[in-house]
C-alpha cells in the first residue's frame, strides 16, 4: 500500500507543480516558481503526515476516529482547521474590506454556534456515539430505518458543502496563480483522497491541525504589521481607517445618491456603522438560526468528537476551538479594514467581486507590493494556506460522507452489522474513493455555476434535519423513530425547497435587465417626488411573494432629475474615438487602461446576456423569487422540530422508550462509552 | 458493550444522586443556552432597528456597534469558561460517584 501511496504523492505533486498553468492570476509570472515552492513544501509536509498516519491506521476505530487517541487540545485545533473554510477565512475578511461593520457582524454567528455545540452536543455525542451521527440516532430508535435517513442527510449536507468548497477552491486557485480550474479541482481531489484513503482520520486530523496553525500564524503576522504603526491602539487604528480616502470613496460608491450631502469624515465613519451590506434583518435572523443550530448538526463537526478519548476531552476541544475560531475572527476585523485602507476596495473587487482576495492582496502589499520578492512570497504563503484549507475541509467532509455510506448503510443496513473488521475497513476505503471521485466530478460539472448559496443551504439542512433529530433523541424521553424520520425528511426537504424558489437562484429576466443596464446605460429620469413609507401587510408578506401582498418599504426622499448614464457600448465608442486624437503617450496609456476596464465589464454583461438568452424563468419555472429570504432556516428549523415532536407524540415505539434510561444515564456519566484503542 | 446487560439503568436513573445531577445540569445548561441565544440575536436586531444607538461614538471613532459586536466574542468565551469550570468542578465529580458504584 505504501508503494501505491508514493505514486499518488508523486502524481499529485506533479499536478500541482508542473507548468500546466495559464498566464494570469494575482501572482506575476516571474514569481510563480516561488508560489509552487511554497505549495510544494506544504504538500510535502502533509504527505509526510499521511505516511506516518498510515502506519497506524488499520482498524475501523483507527480509520474513522483516529483510535480515539486525539487529545482535547489537538482536537480543538483540528475543529478550527475543519471550520475555518475558505468561505469563512477569505470570505469574511473580504466582506469587511468591502462593507466594513456588516462583514464583522456576519462573523459573530460562526463563533456563537459553538456554544450550542459545547453545551448540548459534544459530550453526549462522545458518550453515546461510535463513528457517525447514525450511531447516535440508532441508539434508541429503529437502527436500520434511522441509519438510512441519517446517512442520506449526512451525504446531502456534505455534498452541498463539498461542492461549494470545490468550486470556490478552483476559482480561488485560478485567481491567485492562474492554474486551470479543472486541474486545481482534480489536484485538490487527489490530494484529499490520498490523506483520507491512506491515513484515515489520523491524517485528516493532523492536516487540519497543520493548516490551522499556519493560518493563525499568517494572520497574526499580517495583523501585527497592520496594527503596529498605531501602537496597537484600537481607536487610533480605526481613526486611520475612517480617515482613509479609499474607504470614504468605497462608502460613497455603496451609498450612491444618498452620500451627496455627507462630509468625508461622515463617509468614513459610516464604514463602521451597520447597514452597508446586510439590508434585511429577518434574513439575518434566519441565517443566524441556521448557523447557531446548524454547526452542531454538521456531520464532519460531530465526527470530530469521536476522535477524543473521553467526554472531558471533547469539552476541552470545543473550548480550544472557540478560542482559536473567535480569536481568528477578531483578527479578520484588522485584516479586512487593513485591506480596505492599504489595498483599497476598488482593487480588491476588480480581481474578485466577492472580496475573497482581500487577505492575499493585503499580504502582498505588506510584503512590499506587486513587484517585490517579499510581497510575492507572502502572497504565495497565504495562497498556499488557502489551498491547504480547501484540501483539509474537503478531506473532513469526504470522511464524514464515506463513514455514513460504509458504516451506516453498508455495514449497518446491508450487512446487518455482520461484516468482519477487515471488510469494514475495506468498505470505508472504497466508500472514500467513491465519494472523492463524486466530489471531483461534481466540482468540474459545477464550473461557473452560482454556488455561494450552497454553504448556507448546507447549514440550513443540518439545522432543520440533523439537529432536531439528534437533540430530541438525546433530551426528550418520548422521541421515537417515526418522529425522527418524519422530522428529518420534512426539515431537509423544506430547506431545499425554499432555497429553490428563493432569490439565490438565477432569474433570467433580472440577469438580462442588469446586463442591458450595463451595456446600454440608463435613460435620463425626471425629478421624482418623495414616496411615503409602505407598511407591510403582514409577516407572511415579508417571507413570500403572494397576490395582494405589500412588503414593508422605507420612505424614499424626493429625487432631482438625473441625466442619462452611458452604457459600456457607447463608452467604448467614445474612448476609441478619443484615443485616435490623443498623441501624448501617458494620456494614451491611461485611456487604454480605462478602455480595457470598460471592455471587461462589457464582455461580462454580454456573456451574462448570452447565458440567459431565450429564457424567462428560473429552473423552477418562476420569473421572480416566491420565497423572499435567502436563508430558509426561519421556517424550516421550527418545522423540523415540530415534525419530530408530532411524529413522536402520535406513535408508540417500545424500544425508544425502553432504551431511554440507558441513553440518558450513559450520556450524562459516560459509563460504557467507546474506549480509546490501546497502542 | 457486553457489560450493558449487567447494568440496571433504570436503577441509576432513579438514584437521587443522578436525579440531582440531572436537575443541576438541566437548569444550568438551559439558562446559559437561553441567555446566549438572546444575547446573540440582539446584535442583528440592534443593527437593524437601533441604528442610532449603534452609531453613538464612545471611544474615539469606536462606536457602540463595534463594542457590542466585540462583546459577543467576550460573552461567548465567558460562557465557555464558566461552563468548563462548573463541569470540571461539579458535574464530573457528581457523575464520578455514580460511576464508582458500578465498578
pLDDT in tens, A35-55: 888 888 988 999 999 999 999
Query: CB–CB of A550/A534 below 8 Å?
Result: yes
Closest by Cβ to A273, choosing from B37, B54, B79: B54
What pLDDT is attached to residue B103?
65
Q: Is A622 helix (H, G, I), strand (E, B) or coil?
A: coil
Closest by Cβ to A272, choosing from B66, B81, B84: B66
Interface residue B89 vs chain A (CB under 8 A): no
Model pLDDT for residues A299-325, shown as the tens digit of each residue:
999 999 999 999 999 999 999 999 999
Distance from CA of A485 to the nearest CA of B (A): 26
Considering only residues A191 and A614, tell me which one the structure prediction assigns the higher pLDDT. A191
Nearest CA in chain B to A292: B37
With a cut of 80, say whether residue A10 has pLDDT above it. no
What pLDDT is attached to residue A18?
41
- Kindly state the cell numbers that stand for A566: 452611458
CB contact (8 A) between residue A319 and residue B81 = yes
Nearest CA in chain B to A236: B60
Interface residue A75 vs chain B (CB under 8 A): no
Query: CB–CB of A466/A186 below 8 Å?
Result: no
Cβ count near A487 (within 10 Å): 29
CB contact (8 A) between residue A111 and residue B21 = no
A interface test, pick of B66, B68, B70, B91 with most A CB neighbours within 10 Å: B66
pLDDT band at residue A25 under the 50/70/90 scheme: low
CB contact (8 A) between residue B69 and residue A669 = no
With a cut of 80, say whether residue A34 has pLDDT above it. yes
Nearest CA in chain B to A675: B1
CB contact (8 A) between residue A288 and residue B44 = yes
Cell 499568517, residue?
A: A218
Mean pLDDT taken over chain A: 87
Model pLDDT for residues A529-562, shown as the tens digit of each residue:
788 888 777 788 888 888 878 878 777 777 777 7
CB contact (8 A) between residue A326 and residue B77 = yes
Which range is least confidently modeled, A10-24, A276-290, B17-31? A10-24
Sequence-distant (≥ 6) Cβ neighbours of residue A377 within 8 angstroms: A31, A34, A38, A367
Cell 496594527, residue?
A: A227
Interface residue B13 vs chain A (CB under 8 A): yes
Interface residue B86 vs chain A (CB under 8 A): no
With a cut of 80, say whether residue A160 has pLDDT above it. yes
CB contact (8 A) between residue B102 and residue A671 = yes
CB contact (8 A) between residue A115 and residue B66 = no
Q: Is A310 helix (H, G, I), strand (E, B) or coil?
A: coil
Which range is least confidently modeled, A33-37, A106-110, A330-334, A635-639? A33-37
pTM of the predicted protein model: 0.89
Model pLDDT for residues A422-471, shown as the tens digit of each residue:
899 999 999 999 999 998 998 898 887 777 678 888 999 999 999 999 99
CB contact (8 A) between residue B44 and residue A105 = yes
Interface residue B3 vs chain A (CB under 8 A): yes
With a cut of 50, say whether residue A14 has pLDDT above it. no
- Kindly state the cell numbers that stand for B22: 440531572
Query: CB–CB of A636/A494 below 8 Å?
Result: yes
Nearest CA in chain A to B7: A662
Contact list, B61 vs chain A (CB under 8 Å): 235, 238-239, 241-242, 269, 272
Model pLDDT for residues A72-89, shown as the tens digit of each residue:
999 999 999 988 877 677
With a cut of 50, say whether residue A15 has pLDDT above it. no
pLDDT band at residue B13 under the 50/70/90 scheme: confident
**ipTM of this predicted structure:** 0.93
CA distance A380 to A367: 11
Contact list, A323 vs chain B (CB under 8 Å): 77, 80
Model pLDDT for residues A633-666, shown as the tens digit of each residue:
999 999 999 999 999 999 988 888 888 988 888 9
Contact list, B92 vs chain A (CB under 8 Å): 312
pLDDT band at residue A2 under the 50/70/90 scheme: low
Sequence-distant (≥ 6) Cβ neighbours of residue A116 within 8 angstroms: A292, A293, A295, A296, B33
pLDDT band at residue A22 under the 50/70/90 scheme: very low
Contact list, A235 vs chain B (CB under 8 Å): 59-62
What pLDDT is attached to residue A591?
85
Amino acid at each position: 500500500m505504501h508503494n501505491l501511496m508514493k505514486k499518488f504523492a508523486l502524481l499529485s505533486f506533479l499536478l500541482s507543480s508542473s507548468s500546466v498553468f495559464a498566464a494570469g492570476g494575482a501572482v506575476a509570472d516571474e514569481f510563480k516558481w516561488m508560489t509552487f515552492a511554497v505549495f510544494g513544501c506544504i504538500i510535502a509536509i502533509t504527505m509526510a503526515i499521511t505516511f506516518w498516519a498510515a502506519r497506524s491506521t488499520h482498524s475501523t476505530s483507527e480509520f474513522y476516529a483516529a483510535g480515539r487517541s486525539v487529545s482535547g487540545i489537538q482536537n480543538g485545533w483540528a475543529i478550527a482547521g475543519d471550520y475555518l473554510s475558505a468561505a469563512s477565512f477569505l470570505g469574511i475578511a473580504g466582506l469587511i474590506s468591502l462593507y466594513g461593520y456588516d462583514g464583522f457582524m456576519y462573523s459573530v454567528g460562526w463563533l456563537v454556534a459553538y456554544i450550542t455545540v459545547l453545551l448540548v452536543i459534544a459530550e453526549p455525542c462522545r458518550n453515546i456515539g461510535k463513528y457517525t451521527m447514525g450511531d447516535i440516532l440508532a441508539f434508541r430508535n429503529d437502527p436500520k430505518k434511522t441509519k438510512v435517513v441519517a446517512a442520506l442527510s449526512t451525504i446531502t449536507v456534505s455534498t452541498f458543502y463539498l461542492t461549494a468548497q470545490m468550486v470556490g477552491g478552483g476559482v480561488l486557485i485560478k485567481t491567485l496563480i492562474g492554474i486551470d480550474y479543472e486541474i486545481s479541482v482534480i489536484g485538490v481531489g487527489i490530494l484529499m483522497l490520498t490523506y483520507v484513503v491512506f491515513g484515515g482520520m489520523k491524517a485528516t486530523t493532523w492536516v487540519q491541525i497543520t493548516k490551522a496553525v499556519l493560518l493563525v500564524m499568517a494572520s497574526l503576522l499580517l495583523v501585527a504589521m497592520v496594527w503596529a504603526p498605531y501602537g496597537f491602539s484600537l481607536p487610533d487604528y480605526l481613526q486611520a481607517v475612517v480617515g482613509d480616502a479609499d474607504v470614504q470613496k468605497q462608502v460613497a460608491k455603496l451609498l450612491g445618491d444618498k452620500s451627496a450631502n455627507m462630509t468625508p469624515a461622515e463617509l468614513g465613519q459610516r464604514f463602521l456603522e451597520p447597514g452597508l451590506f446586510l439590508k434585511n434583518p429577518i434574513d439575518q435572523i434566519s441565517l443566524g438560526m441556521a448557523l447557531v443550530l446548524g454547526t452542531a448538526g454538521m456531520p464532519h463537526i460531530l465526527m470530530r468528537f469521536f476522535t477524543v478519548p473521553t467526554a472531558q476531552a471533547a469539552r476541552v476541544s470545543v473550548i480550544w476551538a472557540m478560542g482559536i475560531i473567535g480569536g481568528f475572527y477578531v483578527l479578520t476585523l484588522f485584516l479586512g479594514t487593513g485591506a480596505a485602507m492599504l489595498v483599497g476596495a476598488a482593487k480588491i473587487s476588480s480581481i474578485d467581486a466577492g472580496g475573497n482576495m482581500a487577505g492575499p492582496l493585503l499580504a502582498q502589499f505588506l510584503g512590499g507590493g506587486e513587484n517585490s520578492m517579499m510581497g510575492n512570497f507572502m502572497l504565495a504563503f497565504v495562497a498556499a494556506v488557502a489551498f491547504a484549507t480547501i484540501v483539509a475541509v474537503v478531506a473532513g467532509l469526504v470522511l464524514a460522507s464515506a463513514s455514513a455510506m460504509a458504516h451506516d448503510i453498508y455495514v449497518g443496513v446491508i450487512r446487518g452489522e455482520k461484516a468482519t473488521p477487515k471488510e469494514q475497513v475495506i468498505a470505508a476505503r472504497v466508500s472514500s474513493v467513491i465519494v472523492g471521485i463524486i466530489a471531483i466530478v461534481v466540482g468540474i460539472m459545477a464550473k461557473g455555476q452560482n454556488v455561494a448559496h450552497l454553504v448556507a443551504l448546507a447549514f440550513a439542512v443540518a439545522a432543520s434535519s440533523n439537529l432536531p433529530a439528534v437533540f430530541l433523541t438525546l433530551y426528550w424521553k418520548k422521541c421515537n423513530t417515526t418522529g425522527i424520520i418524519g422530522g428529518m425528511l420534512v426539515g431537509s426537504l423544506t430547506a431545499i425547497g425554499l432555497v429553490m424558489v428563493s432569490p439565490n437562484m438565477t432569474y433570467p429576466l433580472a440577469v438580462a435587465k442588469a446586463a442591458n443596464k450595463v451595456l446600454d446605460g440608463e435613460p435620463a429620469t425626471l425629478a421624482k417626488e418623495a414616496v411615503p413609507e409602505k407598511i407591510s401587510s403582514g409577516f407572511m408578506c415579508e417571507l413570500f411573494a403572494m397576490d395582494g401582498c405589500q412588503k414593508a418599504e422605507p420612505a424614499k426622499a424626493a429625487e432631482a432629475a438625473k441625466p442619462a448614464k452611458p452604457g459600456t457600448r457607447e463608452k467604448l465608442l467614445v474612448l476609441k474615438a478619443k484615443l485616435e486624437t490623443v498623441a501624448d503617450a501617458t494620456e494614451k496609456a491611461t485611456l487604454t487602461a480605462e478602455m480595457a476596464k470598460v471592455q471587461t465589464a462589457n464582455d461580462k454583461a454580454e456573456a451574462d446576456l448570452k447565458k440567459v438568452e431565450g429564457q424567462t424563468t428560473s429552473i423552477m419555472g418562476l420569473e421572480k423569487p416566491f420565497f423572499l429570504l435567502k436563508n430558509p432556516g426561519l421556517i424550516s428549523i421550527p418545522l423540523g422540530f415540530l415534525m419530530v415532536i408530532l411524529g413522536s407524540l402520535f406513535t408508540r415505539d417500545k424500544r425508544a422508550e425502553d432504551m431511554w434510561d440507558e441513553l440518558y444515564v450513559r450520556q450524562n456519566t459516560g459509563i460504557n462509552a467507546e474506549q480509546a484503542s490501546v497502542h | 458493550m457486553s457489560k450493558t446487560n449487567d447494568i440496571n439503568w433504570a436503577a441509576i436513573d432513579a438514584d437521587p444522586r443522578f436525579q440531582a445531577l440531572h436537575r443541576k445540569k438541566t437548569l444550568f445548561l438551559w439558562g446559559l443556552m437561553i441567555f446566549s441565544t438572546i444575547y446573540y440575536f440582539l446584535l442583528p436586531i440592534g443593527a437593524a432597528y437601533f441604528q442610532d444607538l449603534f452609531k453613538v461614538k464612545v471611544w474615539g471613532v469606536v462606536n457602540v456597534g463595534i463594542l457590542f459586536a466585540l462583546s459577543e466574542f467576550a460573552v461567548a468565551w465567558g460562557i465557555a469558561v464558566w461552563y468548563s469550570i462548573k463541569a470540571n468542578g461539579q458535574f464530573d465529580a457528581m457523575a464520578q460517584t455514580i460511576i464508582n458504584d458500578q465498578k
